[in-house]
Amino acid sequence: MKKFIIIAGLLFFSTLTFSQDNSGKTVFNCPIRSMYKTSMLYGTQVHPLTDKEFFHNGTDIVAKLGAKVFPIADGIVIQKGFKQSDGNYIIIQHTDGYKSMYSHLSRFSCEIGDRVNIKQAIGKVGATGIATGPFLHLSVYKNDELVNPESLIDF
């Protein structure tokens, strides 16, 4: 199915790369294709460094340092940078109001404005920012509201 999106006044056409399962649930691709495990889930958690309860706005995926990170769906890189807590991060705009954020990367493999697809690595797993070891923190938004990644991706 072809969709179009407008970012910064530019019109882009893209193929919708996520699907719906038999129940009608939207399904995205897992961003890690090598061995991994989820370590901290979305929702209220106890922080491993401060031992205080907090709301965790995504899913943490432990993987080997340098493992390739792929977008959960085709899209356009709209932000890339460094934040004290998130380390190196990338934000991708997808169709249908979805955005995804990938944090704690060791390296970037894309630039702002790049069109990326699910077969193209966008970065590598790292331990930048506040981290206890190498992992990817994935946050997903629908119309700028947080969405539980575990409800969209079969980890």
81-133 pLDDT tens trace: 999 999 999 999 999 999 999 999 999 999 999 999 999 999 999 999 999 99
b/e code 21-57 from CB counts within 10 Å (16+ = b): eeeeebebbebbeeebebebebeeeeeeeeeeeeebb
Q: What is the band of 4 on the pLDDT scale with cuts at 50, 70, 90? A: very low
Distance CA 145, CA 98 (A): 9
Q: Which residues touch 144 (CB under 8 Å, ≥6 apart)?
A: 97, 99
Q: Which residues touch 154 (CB under 8 Å, ≥6 apart)?
A: 27, 30
7-65 pLDDT tens trace: 443 333 333 345 555 565 668 999 999 999 998 889 998 888 889 999 999 999 999 99
> Which region, left, alpha or beta, applies to residue 92 given φ > 0 means left and ψ of -120 to 50 means alpha?
beta
Q: Residue 12 has what pLDDT? A: 35
Q: Residue 19 has what pLDDT? A: 55
